[in-house]
Amino acid sequence: MINQAIRASLKTAFSLVELDAFYPTQEELEAITFSDKFEQWAARFLKRQEHFWFRTFNTVGKQVAAVVLTVVLALSAVTISVEALREPFFEFITKTFEKFTLITFHENDDPSPEDEFIPLKPIDPTYIPEGFELTSETVDFMMNMKTYAHKNETIIHYSQSFKNGSQLYIDTEDATITRININEREAIFKQEYNETYLFFTDMHYIYEISGNLTKEELIKIAESIPIHEK
């Protein structure tokens, strides 16, 4: 059996050296490059995990929770509303589970008739903090998602997706949730360790911004989203 005394001796020995010496230097890493093929794969991989549907239903538990909630609502024919969260364009059903909150947006919030599907019109924040570069982007008729990265490894994720009939999952375990105002709209702000997340809606869309940013920066980005309702 591996002896605890050996472990202690090894620990002392390791503590005598700079661990960096066991790893490639910054110069060696800077010499590493990636092919276009790899970059394309990586961009797709990063985008997929951000995709609304994957994100919303990405675990069996959440899928089951979503189905249960849907069945309960259908059987009871009761609309559960949270009055305190009710705003003209911010109406949703919320269900808090032990570790996460599932928000279901009403089907009839969007006045557009179902047979007149209007593709998503991309709306982007006009303010992104200095030093950030766009590193991935997905814009199609359903989604507008962008990721910005900074040299200091700070990341900003922005997404705009349809609100109508959709569900939003928020991990509320170990998180502080507060309601704030973004240009006179109610928004939900979440802080979990050094990660911040904010979302709000207009008549058609859900806007989400997140990253390892300060609350102030996140709000500044949110306030720069040029929403023109009606």
Partner 1 sequence: MFFYLLTIPETPGDKWTFAKAYFKYRKLIKHEALQVLQNEELAEDATQEALIHIARSVQQFRGKSEESERAYVCVIAHNAAVDLYRKEKRHLEHKTDPRYFEMPMQEDFLGNIAQGDIINKIKELPPQKRRILELWAFHGESRKAIAKTLGISYNVVQKELRSAQELLYKKLKEADLI
List residues near partner 1 by CB under 8 A: 2-3, 5-7, 9-17, 19, 21-24, 28-30, 32, 34-35, 37-38, 41-42, 45-46, 48-50, 54-55, 57-60, 100, 135, 147, 149, 153, 155, 157, 170-171, 192-193, 195, 197, 210-212
We find the least distance from the C-beta atom of residue 73 to partner 1, in angstroms, to be 23
Nearer to partner 1, 144 or 147 (CB): 147
We find the least distance from the C-beta atom of residue 209 to partner 1, in angstroms, to be 11
Asked whether the CA dihedral 23, 29, 31, 33 is positive or negative, the reply is: positive
Q: State the Cα–Cα distance between residues 96 and 99, nearest whole angstrom.
A: 8
We find the least distance from the C-beta atom of residue 6 to partner 1, in angstroms, to be 5
What is the biggest distance separating any 2 CA atoms in the chain, rounded to whole angstroms?
Answer: 73
We find the least distance from the C-beta atom of residue 170 to partner 1, in angstroms, to be 8
What is the β-pairing status of strands 100-105 and 92-96? antiparallel
Contact 165, 206 (CB under 8 A): no
Residue 115 neighbours by CB distance under 10 Å: 5
Nearer to partner 1, 135 or 164 (CB): 135
Nearer to partner 1, 14 or 117 (CB): 14
Nearer to partner 1, 151 or 230 (CB): 151
Which tokens go with 19?
């661990």
We find the least distance from the C-beta atom of residue 154 to partner 1, in angstroms, to be 9
We find the least distance from the C-beta atom of residue 18 to partner 1, in angstroms, to be 10
Q: State the Cα–Cα distance between residues 51 and 58, nearest whole angstrom.
A: 10
Asked whether the CA dihedral 129, 133, 136, 141 is positive or negative, the reply is: positive
Nearer to partner 1, 107 or 173 (CB): 173
Nearer to partner 1, 175 or 203 (CB): 175
What is the β-pairing status of strands 100-105 and 167-171? antiparallel
User: Position 53: which residue type?
Assistant: W
Nearer to partner 1, 110 or 212 (CB): 212
We find the least distance from the C-beta atom of residue 88 to partner 1, in angstroms, to be 27
Q: State the Cα–Cα distance between residues 187 and 4, nearest whole angstrom.
A: 53
Residue 103 neighbours by CB distance under 10 Å: 21
